[in-house]
Chains A and B, each alone.
Chain A
Amino acid sequence: MSRKYCIIDSSDVENVNFDQVLETSADTLRFSTDGSLTTVKYEGAKPRFLYGKDTYTHSQILEILAGSDWTPSE
């Protein structure tokens, strides 16, 4: 089953039902470099709390995460 990915505001993490996404917990999320965004992934039906959020494929989310907004330069 293919996975789908969404980007959400960090302030919405409190609304994430971790039984409906593949992330383990709020403590293990990956955040953007400025801390304002994070990603979640799911299989099957889109969880209700993600309604209205854009959905990305694996290759699409990898391209986004490779950008400077998510990967800090050193």
Chain B
Amino acid sequence: MSGSAISLGLQLGGGKSATSSGRAAGGGGALVNQFSVDFDGTNDFMAIGSSYDLGCLSLWFKPDSTITDSSAPKAIVGFTGVSNFAVFAGIQTGSVAGAVNNELITLYTGDWVYAYTSSSATIDTNWHHLAIRWGGSDYEIYLDGVQVKNADGQVVGNQSKAKIPISNFNVAKRNDNNRFFAGLIDEVAIWSNPLSASDTIALYNSGVPSDLTDLSPNGWWRMGDNDGGSGTTITDQGVDPSGNPSGNNGNLTNGPTFSSSVPS
């Protein structure tokens, strides 16, 4: 889908009533978004467990505390990546320590670290959009629609940078059952094939999540919308390569709660 299609959808979608799927009637970019999920940072998470190629990932997050380069590391998502350190893979905030310094956001694949680093910038406690994209020769990190990845380093092995397969996908914890994220997370989506750079930037949409249906995410968890903001199942709105529902529902584990705070 092109960026122009997103713009068209926004024009059509505003003010429409919601369908049972949570999508604005008439389709398009506007999205009825009433819920996010609040993780307390002690032991709760969303278990998905599915496998993908990490082409592109998009989510919104609202940390409980400001993120600096000295913040304790927290995993917004965790997955099993590659190499003997695969269990430590994921996307984290704060000081991960290792191949780069002054990390604010880090994608760790198991063999490579890709990071947004700064000794002076911070990420505040407002809602932020985060996207990861495989750009063909490198992973890119987008924060609020801006490509911010500015450092990388090889942790183990001698493999070249590559788009990696991931498995055992979880939200709000690392797969060694550690580094639990404290804060809100909303609209998590993943694509095995990367979006274009322009489509990835457009996901930010001036701070308001847009309808991803036309971008055909392979996994899309709306964090309460489509599920009435209750229960422990987060229904996967993604589609497989054939266009059929992916069906990889998330399972809210150890008591995360729904919140009415959403990016807006």
Contacts and interface: CB of A to CB of B under 8 A. Distances in A.
Contacts of A66: 72
Contact of A30 (B72, B88, B180, B232): B180
Contact of A58 (B40, B43, B232): B40
Interface residues of B, number: 18
Secondary structure dominating the interface of B: loop
A22 B256 CA distance: 9
Contact of B43 (A29, A71, A72, A74): A29
Question: How many A residues are at the interface, by size bracket?
Answer: 10 to 19
Contact of B97 (A39, A41, A71, A74): A74
B42 A61 contact: yes
Contacts of B182: 62
B40 A3 contact: yes
Interface of A: 3, 5, 22-24, 28-31, 39, 41, 58, 61-62, 65-66, 71-72, 74
25 contacts: A22-B44, A22-B254, A23-B43, A24-B232, A24-B255, A28-B43, A28-B254, A30-B42, A30-B177, A30-B178, A31-B177, A39-B42, A39-B43, A41-B40, A41-B42, A41-B43, A58-B40, A58-B42, A61-B42, A62-B41, A62-B42, A65-B41, A71-B179, A72-B178, A74-B97
